[in-house]
Structure 1
């Protein structure tokens, strides 16, 4: 609420000025009857008030000017105990209004007959002068109110700015730092910079201040230590450049936000690695053993065996679990884009490179884990760069001159035999051994059929709830069909079969009629061609694909086929299999 006490010093000065000009006593009180200004130049106590039946109190009550030229005309004077000692001969009381509300009153007092005569003779001029002084008082109140509103707005803006996770900086046209939020201040602690060139390198400062253009997500170092993405927006007022607002986002925070946004649904735990077979228990035990390590892990296994689940479980049980988990499928991204995805690029590195450049996946994963799925599909020239990251723990952006250190654990996965790719010259041998520090094999479902029942129950519970059906289990007949199926698609295929069957079920059980038709009625693999040479060729091909092309692998393939190694080599030559395998 507006009050004269907010400008008490100014009111006191005004009382002294009026008293000095008019050569009369002046008293100014607020609406609570407290004396704010007294022209006798004596200091006024905050508790000093006038009487409730005084003239100035009456002025505020009636909200109009009152002239008292005789004490006999005032009831308050009649009841005053100091009446006989009172020197006052005349009082003019004038109300003080602010936005139609009474704030107080001013009393002009004549203590002698000479002063009274002077007041009567100059009353009109005196009142004009007092009105002007009241106008000055109210203008001062408006200024104070505006300053208070500005101060409150500034405080609110500071609260808003400090609540923003980004680091915000407002700079002038010449690079002076005008305002920052708390996050930015915390970087520098006691030594706060005054100019932008104390924070950023010269070429970046020049771009921000001289180009007068927006900058988006430009990678910069602040204080030569902290990695940030910088965005800026010029401050244009009346078509004139007045500086810029800079927003810094920590690259580490960006990675964490992306991880929370895109991978929250994959917060896997050991219960998600369903199974109690020796093969799956061995995998679980291996994950526990390497939880505290930062060593590279190579996960091999057929498609659909759950290699990514294993990778995420390794990350979630490690000391890096609160840091980013960044997954990238090496077979899903075109070769010419893979390098920029992994390592990023600088602005202008190539035609079409976006302004500000791009952060690579390795930088986003720094402090956490990067999962390179289908690593066998990576091009040879990128394998060389990946090897350098493994050896030096540094990445180079495309078009960049400086290396950036990264602290990242690498997990790789493949459904191919990398040792065979090494022999064929399609995969670097040194990279292979760098990746295979800790090997983990994700077993195919056909080798752990005891887990099929557990997996079926798990998927029924999950999909029945998700689809909204009351499915309590699976019939023995349907379960028998699942147990006999070869599951070339492994756990992924089983999961899809259960989801399909729940959708197709009309009762509370999955039955044979709910299962996919081709699962219940499989086609014979060789019905179309019973030629013995064709069958022989296909069996040998399958054996070589399964065991590989090495000498030892061929011995194992021959044993599985029930023939000698010499016979295998002879058949391969007769059927010209040397060039058709791999």
Structure 2
């Protein structure tokens, strides 16, 4: 939108009145469209009309002063459409010029011989006076243009700040709030205008350390309760400096829960849907159908299956197909975190709950996953103590943080997974029976890769394409002999092992196909053993069992949970393994 003289209309009329008072001649002022926007005497009633005077038009176009003291002989008047039929005795037109552009004209018009003589005898003085008045209007117009441009920039800035994904507030050096965005109002549920108020009085957690005033950057975690909201997050403070002097601060706030939610939106795993899971075998089709049905429910889900079968993949698919898809999906591996740390990770703690507790406390995974899904992987490795706390959360829909005086209501869907036989653990007393039934509302058992060997060619084809792009190789497929070897392999590590094998083979491949010679050693040795076993002497079942137990114990002997891993590989419980060891005298 362009600036016109109409923006200083009141100033223009005041100038017109002043000119008329000094010179005793009626004044008319027009804009660049020759619309009269101010006038005195007979022209007051004609404000808003368009004039057709040629002298005004020429003065506007040329940006020069025009003096007509005798219309009958003036060459300018001869060009006018009213030449010979004009009742004016004389006139002066002075352009209003700002930055080289004509925005309008100040005009003095004599309608009597007396007024004409005034113009004729004092034209130089009148021109000088009108020029000064035009310059005055030009200055006011320039100020109006600058003010308008500043208003535009201010509006742009407000729109930009309001469109930011962070809560932002700016303060002066004394902490007085001068501006904040809509996200800030929403985050802290601010109803009234807080402009001009001291931020430290409203948000007690905000501090400006002395070291920050001396040039260090600053950020800190915060905990806030107010306006019916409880928030934990991080705030960052940036200085506003001018000529080396601090003039104020800009503070932005990040809600930890919101950050997790946004991360899930950007995370590629968020795109995992049931159609993205490769497989056309009957066993996998059945699991896919069960997954879709589970997604429509709010009940807890227990996914079981061997290690490497894709339990987390199906858990994410359940979440992404559910009504909770827009909220966080939080995955916690119960076996990877020490028991004493797992409690604080899951349930969180308050400030000062124990020695070394973080200032401001810590959000637990249940709080972060509010409205979303919490995936508890390797649930069978959870201690009985934590099992009882988890059971209480499932029953009460509340979390008791470490060191907290009251519980926090949560709305979280639990999806648990394990590669252990929880029913056997219940019988052995290592897993709570009541928790088991709370978790096992919707059971989903994933087939091992050996139970869905028909999917191996599809999985291989997909993985070759993925790793060829990732590793910048031109491998396009696998030859028939290598594929046959891979299909005959037992795949104890399931899909994860297949994935590892394909990545290795793509790395080693020399041509456009994966051949037998680039397959992992474990697959080639398995095949050799398979061929040897067909011709070797037949062993008794007991000898075979003893040898396999010894092999399993040797393979997993370096691990902390060697007996547990060996039992799992053999497909028996740990108690059964101990009986077999004693039976065969294995040391």
Per the shorter chain, which TM-score range? 0.7 to 0.9
Greater CA drift, 151-160 or 108-117:
108-117
Report the Cα offset of residue 419 of structure 1.
5.3
Residue 163 of structure 1 corresponds to: 163
SS in 2 for 1:370: strand
Q: Could you list the runs of 5+ residues in structure 2 that have no partner in the other structure?
A: 213-217, 469-473, 554-562
What is the aligned counterpart of 1:548 among 573, 580, 583? 573
The residue correspondences of 1:250-399 to structure 2 (distance < 5 A) are: 253-264=258-269, 267-269=272-274, 272=277, 274=279, 276=281, 280=284, 283-335=287-339, 337-345=341-349, 358-397=362-401
Greater CA drift, 162-171 or 150-159:
162-171
Change (3 A) 1:228 1:135: farther
Question: Partners of 1:77 and 1:288 in 2: how far apart?
Answer: 89
Question: Partners of 1:98 and 1:49 in 2: how far apart?
Answer: 22
| Contact 2:347–2:401 (Cα < 8 Å) also in 1 | yes
Greater CA drift, 170-179 or 137-146:
170-179
Question: Partners of 2:126 and 2:403 in 1: how far apart?
Answer: 81
Change (3 A) 1:150 1:62: closer
Report the Cα offset of residue 267 of structure 1.
0.4
C-alpha RMSD of the superposition:
4.6
Question: Partners of 2:291 and 2:572 in 1: how far apart?
Answer: 26
Change (3 A) 1:152 1:228: farther
Greater CA drift, 227-236 or 250-259:
227-236
Residue 562 of structure 1 corresponds to: none
Residue 130 of structure 1 corresponds to: 130
Change (3 A) 1:144 1:398: farther
Listed one character per residue, the Cα deviations across residues 401-439 of structure 1 (whole Å, up to 9, x for unaligned) are: 554322111122223344565677765555444333333
Question: Partners of 2:515 and 2:91 in 1: how far apart?
Answer: 107
| Contact 2:279–2:285 (Cα < 8 Å) also in 1 | no
| Contact 1:471–1:502 (Cα < 8 Å) also in 2 | no
Residue 565 of structure 1 corresponds to: none
Residue 437 of structure 1 corresponds to: 441
SS in 2 for 1:42: helix
Report the Cα offset of residue 112 of structure 1.
4.9
Question: Partners of 1:2 and 1:193 in 2: how far apart?
Answer: 35
Residue 495 of structure 1 corresponds to: 499
Change (3 A) 1:472 1:209: closer
- The count of residues paired between Structure 1 and Structure 2 equals 549
The residue correspondences of 1:44-443 to structure 2 (distance < 5 A) are: 44-52=46-54, 54=55, 56-77=56-77, 86=87, 88=89, 90-112=90-112, 114-115=114-115, 125-170=125-170, 179-182=179-182, 192-195=191-194, 205-208=203-206, 216=220, 218-220=222-224, 223-225=227-229, 229=233, 231=235, 233=237, 236=240, 245=250, 247=252, 253-264=258-269, 267-269=272-274, 272=277, 274=279, 276=281, 280=284, 283-335=287-339, 337-345=341-349, 358-397=362-401, 401=405, 403-418=407-422, 427-428=431-432, 430-443=434-447
Question: Partners of 1:61 and 1:266 in 2: how far apart?
Answer: 64
Greater CA drift, 366-375 or 428-437:
428-437
| Contact 1:420–1:549 (Cα < 8 Å) also in 2 | no
Question: Partners of 1:61 and 1:516 in 2: how far apart?
Answer: 87
Question: Partners of 2:204 and 2:415 in 1: how far apart?
Answer: 41
Question: Partners of 2:282 and 2:167 in 1: how far apart?
Answer: 52
Change (3 A) 1:492 1:72: closer
Report the Cα offset of residue 176 of structure 1.
7.6
SS in 1 for 2:45: coil
What is the aligned counterpart of 2:45 among 36, 43, 46? 43
Report the Cα offset of residue 101 of structure 1.
2.4
| Contact 2:220–2:236 (Cα < 8 Å) also in 1 | yes
TM-score by length of 1: 0.76
